Amino acid sequence: MSGARFSKIYTSDLRVPAREVLLSNGERIRLYDTSGPYTDPAATTDVTRGLPARREEWILARGDVTGYDGRPVQPVDDGRPSAAARDEHAWRGAARRPLRAAGAPVTQLAYARRGEVTREMEFVAVREGVTPEFVRDEVVAGRAIIPANVNHPESEPMIIGRNFLVKINANIGNSAVTSSVEEEVEKMTWATRWGADTIMDLSTGRDIHTTREWIIRNSPVPVGTVPLYQALEKVGGVAADLSWEVYRDTLIEQCEQGVDYMTVHAGVRLAYVPLTARRKTGIVSRGGSIMAAWCLAHHRESFLYEHFADMCEIFAAYDVAFSLGDGLRPGSIADANDEAQFAELRTLGELTAIAREHAVQTMVEGPGHVPMHKIKENVDLQRDLCDDAPFYTLGPLVTDIAPGYDHITSGIGAAMIGWYGTAMLCYVTPKEHLGLPDRDDVKTGVITYKIAAHAADLAKGHHLAQAWDDALSDARFEFRWEDQFDLSLDPDTARSFHDETLPAAPAKTAHFCSMCGPKFCSMKISHDVRRYADEHGLSDSEALTAGMSEMSAQFRDQGGTVYLPLADT
Amino acid sequence: MSGARFSKIYTSDLRVPAREVLLSNGERIRLYDTSGPYTDPAATTDVTRGLPARREEWILARGDVTGYDGRPVQPVDDGRPSAAARDEHAWRGAARRPLRAAGAPVTQLAYARRGEVTREMEFVAVREGVTPEFVRDEVVAGRAIIPANVNHPESEPMIIGRNFLVKINANIGNSAVTSSVEEEVEKMTWATRWGADTIMDLSTGRDIHTTREWIIRNSPVPVGTVPLYQALEKVGGVAADLSWEVYRDTLIEQCEQGVDYMTVHAGVRLAYVPLTARRKTGIVSRGGSIMAAWCLAHHRESFLYEHFADMCEIFAAYDVAFSLGDGLRPGSIADANDEAQFAELRTLGELTAIAREHAVQTMVEGPGHVPMHKIKENVDLQRDLCDDAPFYTLGPLVTDIAPGYDHITSGIGAAMIGWYGTAMLCYVTPKEHLGLPDRDDVKTGVITYKIAAHAADLAKGHHLAQAWDDALSDARFEFRWEDQFDLSLDPDTARSFHDETLPAAPAKTAHFCSMCGPKFCSMKISHDVRRYADEHGLSDSEALTAGMSEMSAQFRDQGGTVYLPLADT
């Protein structure tokens, strides 16, 4: 019965995907769908070939990009001594010549400023239930970004901004210690199946270039990276040997591959490094610590800070968005909201302004580890300093005493910071601080963050969010168990938990559950109250009270018990 | 190595328990301990005999109670047709004659009002790190309660109030559908082992009396119940047949057994029932729906409301605390903060005042299902209407779309409402809305709620809470892996997650972890920054910046890399 109750549907001529749930009472509800063609029974997918380039036609139709040969891929891109060593995993699917701007910036921000509504804007307008003009205006204001590299035409456009549904990101990526290309691609499809709006590939081991190629070619959602990780690999892991040249080479490589947004730790300035010396947990951002090490080694201002305008020119040519990294974010409750953190945030505000001068879409990253009473200050200060650029936060964890449960410690902070105005939440899995997430951890992290994002949407009064809760509440009240499962963020788990206690098929249509058993069901009593009200045409409480004497007699006439069998509703 | 790193210690002549963690750097940290004698290797426990009556001497020394024969236990107390049918599970351990007040109330509130500091108050003062006089004054003000029935001498005193550590309750109990006496006792010891501050026995099936006897005689924490559930069983499940007489009989029965606090749904008044008719999910509290049904059937005011003063007299004679039930709490996001809910809350405020006139300790229950932006209003209104009586809330869930994960949806709301001032949080397990929790669910619920309570303590600025986080952060920064595990809320899970990725024993002393691998460790870089600062006696950022040029040279002299092996610190 359950399989046929979902369908993948597409609306508008843009083929905007949605997950439609057919309820047993005949109602249908459409849910936001990030899973791409993989959940479409009519689509054929093959991860060795990649997804269809659905945006290619839109991009080319604008007539403002040109194809070119691109930077040759080199063995060092994968941390390999020679080309031969790469063969095992080499990407053999779709290989397009890279595109870049023929002249002026090709960013969604540049188009929006010219008053244009792009196909990408139309697409997200349908997804979000708003007008295309509203989308455009939010992009013009810098309050929202649509990460959409011209070299990632496989992606389904989405928008990140405080006036849209709160989004979540799932980090994947191998490390020097563990995991393979295949595992990472599977984690990507798995994470988007459960609701990840973007993916960040944070690989740090070998095969960085190749792993990323597999992920981007198969990803229906925007892909983010931290280019510094690969740049460091190219110089053998010695931070002092980093340079603008090797970093720039890495940016071009990743722009050509189709990375949609990149974390750039340009706010870690030389003068801020000493501010971390007395912290309880120093610098916990990998990118931040690498740049701090470079600044210390050279006693020079960060090359990322000094070359920020150069980066803007590159990003504008591909429509890569900045995710301005918070390299000095706190790594413990004790270090939250300190001088180092907020000094960097002020610099991120300056950089946001520079990026916007270059028409580059920009969001700003935030903490980390923050106790509940210090969360709101982060959002308020970021809005103020960064002129409402979308905020993108990691958690924050609201306590450090629960390793193994940091999806929960951070889910609490994520829900709150989302309510306060954060546009995208970077997930944390149960393995945070302990190890790399496996497939189950990825799912747990994604579901936890969907809860946080949705709770934030509800608290912000989003009508689509409330409708979803209402549909599930109705199903619960009316004992439509299958509907309740199907409307859940994780129908499989909801169904299996129910079946553990009441496995028999009739229990799924029963008008009670195992918590109270048939005799104690408060929902049944509520139905009696409502039925009396309906039968007597009583619509307000005064009238109801007035009619209660009569109702009381009827109630007793029907057996004097509240445990009447309920008619199906 | 791990086993010997914890010890159960007792402080003061009152033998106040604590869990002491011995860290590898020689430091010790003491954590609040709810687990009772079960975790004391020097203690012998036997659940068939019950725990030692540690408070008996204190109670008798006050000279204000008398023993009496008590109400005879009857087969109907267990829902059995005859005494013979009970034999299988019958309690054969300690059986004391019940105690009750010889004259004046024997409540902690009555003593506090007379200026007395009881042994119970001294005990909780040690546990909480405050003075006994502060405890007494909070009890006098009604801002805190110490649930301590004179017939539950096995309990270790604890306090519930906004100016103390936030507490958590774990619900256990069988139902008509599932689970046994043995399982429930095991859930109790398991829940308190992980940190439950109180237990509620919500059994609704057979053997209610006997199950409760086993639980109370073995419980080191206060035990709460909802007497209405048992009263309803006594009248064959027919709500209309309930009466003050059968309810009163049940109260006496449970007072004599040693229940420390009882949920009483006396705020569900006749006039409020119609307010629920247009709700999305009606009445979801079992107790609330039973009373609504009774009011409907008789068209009379609730007998609980009318006999509230009579109950006060009974509770005052045993020191049973009220937990004024929120029978009209919302059961969905849509119904939060509505007229029905707040009408009842106003009545609970009136009842609080009456209970205090009788020197009965009182707390007030709260929702339920509330979106984030409506949580604070609940706390503010409750404080105002109930004159700062401790608030005791169930979650609240901040969204309804994630059955199977309602420990998380509610943990978010619980952390927030705890920060806003709720004194005790009633846990929710992953099985909420789907089935009865098993042992694993109980643990997950308790750990999630310990996270919420602790996050609230941190946000309220509790010094003991911050010290715990700091100790774990220090351990993390210094790569003391075993200390990090041992300081966790759940050391077993933290250790096993770490070992999944890096199982070798040396990895537990490694100065990196599997997330980044040895080359990308930001913590190591932070140590370099700190070491330079220490070596140069640089204690403020200006001096540090001034000294950076010299530092830079030294940094490069040492190899120009940040990946130096770190000396153990």
| Per-residue pLDDT reduced to its tens digit, B407-465 | 999 999 999 999 999 999 999 999 998 988 889 999 999 999 999 999 999 999 998 99
pLDDT tens string B297-337: 899 999 999 999 999 999 999 999 999 999 999 999 999 99
Please state the separation of Cα B358 from the chain's center in Å: 26
Tell me how crowded residue B564 is: count the other CB atoms within 10 A of its CB.
14
Instruction: Tell me what the mean pLDDT of segment B212-225 comes to.
Output: 97
Distance CA B104, CA B219 (A): 28
Q: Is position A285 annotated in a ligand binding site?
A: yes
Dist CA B203 CA B233 (whole Å): 11
pLDDT tens digits, residue range A300-352?
999 999 999 999 999 999 999 999 999 999 999 999 999 999 999 999 999 99
Bridge partners for A365 per DSSP: A392
Average pLDDT over residues B163-176: 89
B285 contacts chain A (CB < 8 A): yes
E strand intervals along B166-240: 167-172, 198-201, 223-225
Residue A523 pLDDT exceeds 50 = yes
Asked whether the predicted pLDDT for residue B532 surpasses 70, the reply is no
What is the DSSP secondary structure assignment for residue A24, as one 8-state letter?
Answer: T
Q: Which of the pair, A180 or B265, is modelled with greater confidence?
A: B265
CB within 8 Å of B448: residues ≥ 6 apart:
A405, A408, B407, B408, B411, B427, B428
Secondary structure class of B370 (helix, strand, coil): coil
Residue-level pLDDT at B112: 98
Q: What is the mean pLDDT of residues B83-97?
A: 77
CB-based contact, A523 to chain B, within 8 Å: yes
Evaluate whether A397 touches A366 at the Cβ level (below 8 Å): no
Per-residue DSSP letter, A279: S
- Supply A339's token pair: 């001088």
Asked if pLDDT for residue A569 goes beyond 50, the answer is no
Element (H, E) at A469: helix A463-477
Residues of A (287-316) whose Cβ lies below 8 Å from B: 288-290, 292-293, 296-299
Least confident piece of the model among A225-229, A529-533, B330-334, B385-389: A529-533
Least confident of A89-98, A520-529, A539-548, B417-426: A539-548
Cβ atoms of A299 and A341 closer than 8 Å: no
By Cβ distance, the residue of A297, A436, A541 closest to B501 is: A436
A366 near A426, Cβ under 8 Å?
Answer: no
B439 CB neighbours in chain A (<8 A) are none
Please check if B71 is assigned to a binding site: no
DSSP code per residue over A470-507: HHHHHHHHTT-HHHHHHTSS-HHHHHHHHHHH--SGGG
* Cis ω for the linkage preceding B396 (within 30 of 0): yes
By DSSP bridging, strand A28-32 and strand A16-22 are antiparallel
- The rounded distance, in Å, linking the Cα atoms of B425 and B166 is 8
> B560 vs A284: CB contact, 8 Å cut-off?
no
Task: Using CB atoms, pick whichever of A401, A501, A518 lies closest to residue B489.
Answer: A401
Quote the CA–CA distance of A232 and A248 in Å, as a whole number: 12
What is the phi-psi region of residue B502: left when phi exceeds 0, alpha when psi lies from -120 to 50, beta otherwise?
Answer: beta
Mind telling me how many Å the CA of A424 is from chain B's nearest CA?
A: 18
Q: Out of A298, A460, A551, whose CB is closest to B552?
A: A298
Cα–Cα distance measured from residue A371 to residue A362, given in angstroms and rounded to the nearest whole number: 27
Mean pLDDT of B264-281: 94
Got the DSSP string for B44-77?
A: ---TTT----TTHHHHHHTT-EEE---PPP-GGG
Helix orientation angle between B227-234 and B286-298, rounded to the nearest 10 degrees: 50
Q: Could you tell me the two tokens for A418?
A: 């989302």
Residues of chain A with C-beta less than 8 angstroms from the C-beta of B290: 520, 522, 525, 562
pLDDT band at B3 (very low <50, low <70, confident <90, very high): very low
Torsion, Cα of B219, B161, A403, B508 (10° steps):
-70
Beta-strand ranges (E) seen in A325-446 are: 362-366, 391-394, 424-426
Return residue ranges of chain A for CATH 3.20.20.540. 62-79+105-463
Residue A393, helix vs strand vs coil: strand
Give helix A439-459 / helix B406-420 axis angle, nearest 10°: 50
Is residue A63's pLDDT more than 50? yes
Topology (CATH) of A62-79+105-463: TIM Barrel (3.20.20)
A61-99 burial, b at 16+ Cβ within 10 Å, e below that, comes to eeebbeeeebeebeebbbbbeeeeebeebebeeeeeebb
Contact B240 A551 (CB under 8 A): no
pLDDT at position B46: 92
Distance from CA of B528 to the nearest CA of A (A): 9
Q: Give the gyration radius of chain B's Cα atoms.
A: 26
Q: Which residues of B touch A513 (CB under 8 A)?
A: 433-435
Helix (H) or strand (E) segment spanning residue B17:
strand B16-22
Taking the C-alpha atoms of residue B365 and residue B425, their distance in angstroms, rounded to an integer, is 10
* pLDDT of A511 strictly over 60: no
**pLDDT tens per residue, range A246-261:** 999 999 999 999 999 9
Per CB-CB distance under 8 Å, the chain B contacts of A467 are: none
Q: Is the peptide bond before B368 cis (omega within 30 degrees of 0)?
A: yes
**What's the mean pLDDT when you consider all of chain B?**
89
Nearest to A284 by CA among A242, A326, A323: A326
Query: Are A296 and B490 in contact (CB < 8 Å)?
Result: no
B69, pLDDT greater than 50: yes
pLDDT (average), residues A96-123: 98
What are the tens digits of pLDDT across the range A260-290? 999 999 999 999 999 998 899 999 999 999 9
Bridge partners, B170 (sequence order): B199
Does A286 contact B431 at a Cβ distance shorter than 8 Å?
A: no
Put simply, the answer to whether B277 touches A434 (Cβ < 8 Å) is: no
Q: Give the integer Cα–Cα distance in Å for A480 and A569.
A: 9
Dist CA A180 CA B452 (whole Å):
36
Q: Closest Cα of chain B to A177: distance in Å?
A: 6
Confidence band for B1, pLDDT divided at 50, 70 and 90: very low
